[in-house]
């Protein structure tokens, strides 16, 4: 398999012309800077001899030209490079999300939500440095440094050699020193920050329990230790950058000294005009502007490499389900069957072991059983979040795996136990199931879910803001919004996992009555612990020992 950085670079291939233009502009900027230094040195040396002012006109114009050119070229380089980097980041985000999305329904073991979010965002953002600050600076430094050494060599061959050797030494030694001082600080910083973010999210989410049991202080100490590790990594990075730049400054001074030492004999011998000494010294110093960026490039290389490794370690996981090469079209009435279904997590006990189930439009089934028996896992099989480990799952007589996942989910809709409400309006939360739905269709779905009178009583109606994860509505209304979303989807079969969880008995009974009244023409599987309204279902099954058995 290709290395992570090579895979990331492949995503930049469509933008290679933009990055090539940014590299060209960066090289011209460095060249203008070196030329500005050289022409300034020549102007100062000539002016010290008090010549006729007209003889300095060309040099003065050259200094002004290179000064203006350097500023304009730097602006254009930043404009083009940032545009290319942001376009590149957009491609990376889309590519990674496309790979991440199939993994999420099956879960991402070992990943805390806060840590995953912080780590993913930071790692993706770190990849923008790959082309702009890792690949570009060494190439620009090579082009401009080579041109500067060649120019010095044309004046005094020994001086050109001294500049070339110093440039090579700085280009190798400074990044190595920066990497040595950093001691992988750049590689560890994102993971340390992700760990701190994950711990902070967990602390805030569980703060009442932590305070109640006197465990908050221990958690805070863990966060403080994570913060100390992060600060140490940041400090090491800063020290590494300073050490690298300091070494480049020292080497550039030695290069200018060596160039002068080589040029003075040529002046004494009459082979070189003395006014060129100043130009040669400042040209030597100016040629190191590109080399100064290499320590940071080395640090970014380590950071982007580690970021790419972490990202691909997540998205390269085997997805729990895959679409077939040639999916079957949806043509039947929507009859879903499990025959001898077997399922387990890894090497754990069998959650399903010979389970049989039939769902069809108009048939309403309740599923009960103890917690941990595998009811939610069964629901995930029905919507192809997971495939069976044994037995058959069929839709209209054909293997469920013969259909595309999205097609299966158009027939079978799942509303989970804690269906998420987004921090937006009632309208947008319900419309999630069908983005092209009209307000009339949304209101009809809310009516079928028994929420129409409540919505009508609100000052803003469908435009009412529900808050973060539905924090501004009651538990009952939250469940009704989730139910309306499922009804609006147009699915022929609804699978509802604990639709009355966290509700009082009266509210739970009302929600179930509205649900059963609204689902006379669709198939329904309700997973529940509650005995409420079980008499209204066509069949009540109990998941026991991996099998589905009828119960009264």
Using the structure block, give the residue that is written with the tokens 């010979």: 354
Q: Tell me the C-alpha distance between 204 and 114, whole Å.
A: 11
Does the pLDDT at position 132 exceed 90? no
Residue 161 near residue 286, CB atoms below 8 Å: no
Span of 33-37, 280-284, 290-294, 509-513 with lowest mean pLDDT: 509-513
Does the pLDDT at position 187 exceed 90? no
Does the pLDDT at position 118 exceed 70? no
Does the pLDDT at position 332 exceed 90? no
151-173 residue pLDDT tens: 999 999 999 999 999 999 999 99
- Percent of the chain with pLDDT strictly greater than 90: 38
Q: Tell me the C-alpha distance between 491 and 410, whole Å.
A: 6
Residue 124 near residue 95, CB atoms below 8 Å: no
Please state the rounded mean pLDDT for residues 347-376: 87
pLDDT at 101 (0 to 100)? 80
Q: Tell me the C-alpha distance between 499 and 487, whole Å.
A: 13
Span of 55-64, 275-284, 417-426 with lowest mean pLDDT: 417-426
CATH for 336-550 (3.90.550.10, 3.40.50.300, 3.30.160.270, 3.40.190.100): 3.40.50.300
Residue 475's contacts (CB-CB under 8 Å, 6 or more residues apart) are 502, 503, 507
Per domain, the residue ranges of the chain are 4-315, 336-550
Q: Could you tell me which of 67, 71, 61 has the C-alpha nearest to residue 35?
A: 67
Does the pLDDT at position 251 exceed 50? yes
Q: Tell me the C-alpha distance between 500 and 366, whole Å.
A: 13
Higher pLDDT, 502 or 42: 42
Reported residue count of the chain is 552
Question: Which of 10-24, 117-131, 291-305: highest mean pLDDT?
Answer: 10-24
pLDDT at 1 (0 to 100)? 43
Residue 414 near residue 379, CB atoms below 8 Å: yes
Q: Tell me the C-alpha distance between 532 and 521, whole Å.
A: 21
Question: Which of 27-41, 121-135, 294-308, 471-485: highest mean pLDDT?
Answer: 27-41
pLDDT at 505 (0 to 100)? 82
Q: Facing residues of 413 across strands?
A: 494
Q: Tell me the C-alpha distance between 206 and 209, whole Å.
A: 6
Higher pLDDT, 334 or 502: 334
Please state the rounded mean pLDDT for residues 6-25: 91
183 — pLDDT class (breaks 50, 70, 90): low
pLDDT at 386 (0 to 100)? 87
Tokens of 348: 């754990």
pLDDT at 109 (0 to 100)? 56
Q: Tell me the C-alpha distance between 40 and 46, whole Å.
A: 10
Span of 208-212, 422-426, 489-493 with lowest mean pLDDT: 208-212
| Mean pLDDT for all residues in the chain | 87
Q: Tell me the C-alpha distance between 452 and 444, whole Å.
A: 8
Tell me what percent of the chain is helix, strand and coil, each rounded to the nearest 5.
Answer: 65, 10, 25
Q: What is the DSSP letter of 263?
A: H
Please state the rounded mean pLDDT for residues 239-252: 90
Q: Tell me the C-alpha distance between 144 and 71, whole Å.
A: 17
Q: For the chain, how far is it from start to end, CA to CA, in angstroms?
A: 56
Please state the rounded mean pLDDT for residues 463-472: 86
Q: Tell me the C-alpha distance between 175 and 437, whole Å.
A: 58
Please state the rounded mean pLDDT for residues 453-460: 90
Alpha helix (H) residue ranges in 127-275: 129, 136-155, 157-182, 185-205, 207-212, 216-268
Please state the rounded mean pLDDT for residues 120-146: 88
Please state the rounded mean pLDDT for residues 442-461: 88
431 — pLDDT class (breaks 50, 70, 90): very high
Q: Could you tell me which of 153, 154, 177, 176 has the C-alpha nearest to residue 165?
A: 153
Q: What CATH architecture does domain 4-315 belong to? A: Up-down Bundle (1.20)
Does the pLDDT at position 502 exceed 80? no
Burial 290-318 (b: 16+ CB within 10 A, else e): bbbbbbbbbbbbbbbbbbbebbbebbeee
């Amino acid at each position: 398999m290709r290395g992570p950085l090579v895979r990331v670079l492949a995503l930049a291939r469509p933008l290679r012309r933009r990055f090539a233009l940014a590299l060209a502009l960066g090289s011209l900027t460095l060249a203008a800077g070196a030329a500005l230094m050289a022409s300034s040195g020549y102007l100062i040396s000539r002016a010290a001899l008090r010549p006729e002012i007209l003889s300095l006109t060309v040099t003065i114009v050259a200094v002004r030209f290179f000064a203006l050119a350097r500023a304009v070229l730097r602006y254009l380089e930043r404009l083009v490079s940032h545009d290319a980097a942001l376009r590149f980041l957009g491609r990376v985000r889309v590519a990674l999300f496309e790979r991440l999305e199939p993994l999420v329904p099956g879960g991402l073991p070992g990943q805390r939500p806060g840590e995953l979010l912080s780590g993913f965002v930071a790692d993706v953002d770190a990849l923008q440095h790959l082309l702009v600050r890792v690949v570009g600076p060494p190439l620009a430094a090579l082009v401009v440094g080579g041109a500067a050494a060649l120019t010095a060599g044309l004046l005094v061959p020994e001086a050109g050699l001294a500049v070339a050797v110093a440039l090579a030494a700085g280009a190798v030694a400074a990044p190595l020193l920066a990497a040595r001082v950093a001691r992988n600080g750049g590689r560890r910083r994102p993971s340390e920050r992700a760990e701190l973010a994950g711990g902070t999210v967990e602390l805030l989410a569980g703060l009442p329990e932590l305070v109640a049991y006197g465990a908050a202080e221990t958690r805070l100490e863990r966060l403080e230790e994570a913060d100390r590790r992060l600060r140490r990594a940041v400090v090491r990075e800063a020290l590494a950058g300073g050490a690298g730049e300091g070494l480049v400054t020292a080497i550039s001074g030695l290069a200018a000294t060596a160039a002068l030492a080589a040029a003075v004999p040529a002046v004494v011998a009459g082979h070189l005009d003395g006014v060129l000494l100043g130009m040669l010294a400042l040209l030597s110093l100016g040629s190191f502007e590109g080399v100064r960026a290499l320590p940071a490039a080395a640090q970014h290389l380590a950071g982007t490499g580690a970021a790419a490794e972490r990202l691909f370690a997540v998205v390269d996981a085997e997805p729990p389900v895959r679409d077939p090469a040639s999916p079957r079209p949806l043509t039947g009435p929507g009859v879903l069957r499990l025959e001898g279904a077997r399922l387990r997590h890894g090497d754990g006990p069998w959650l399903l072991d010979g389970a049989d189930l039939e769902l069809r439009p108009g048939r309403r089934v309740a599923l009960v059983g103890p917690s941990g028996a595998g009811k939610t896992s069964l629901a995930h099989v029905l919507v192809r979040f997971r495939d069976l480990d044994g037995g058959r799952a069929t839709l209209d007589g054909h293997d469920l795996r013969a259909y595309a996942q999205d097609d299966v989910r158009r027939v079978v809709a799942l509303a989970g136990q804690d269906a998420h409400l987004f921090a937006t309006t009632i309208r947008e939360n319900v419309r999630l199931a069908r983005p092209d739905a009209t307000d009339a269709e949304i209101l009809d779905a809310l009516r079928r879910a028994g929420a129409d009178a409540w919505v009508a009583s609100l000052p803003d109606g469908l435009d009412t803001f529900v808050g973060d994860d539905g924090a501004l509505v009651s538990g009952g209304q939250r469940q009704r919004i989730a139910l309306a979303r499922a009804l609006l989807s147009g699915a022929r079969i609804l699978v509802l996992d604990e639709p009355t969880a966290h509700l009082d008995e009266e509210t739970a009974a009302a929600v179930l009555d509205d649900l059963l009244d609204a689902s006379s023409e669709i198939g329904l599987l309700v997973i529940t612990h509650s005995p409420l309204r079980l008499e209204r279902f066509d069949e009540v099954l109990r998941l026991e020992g991996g099998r589905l058995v009828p119960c009264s």
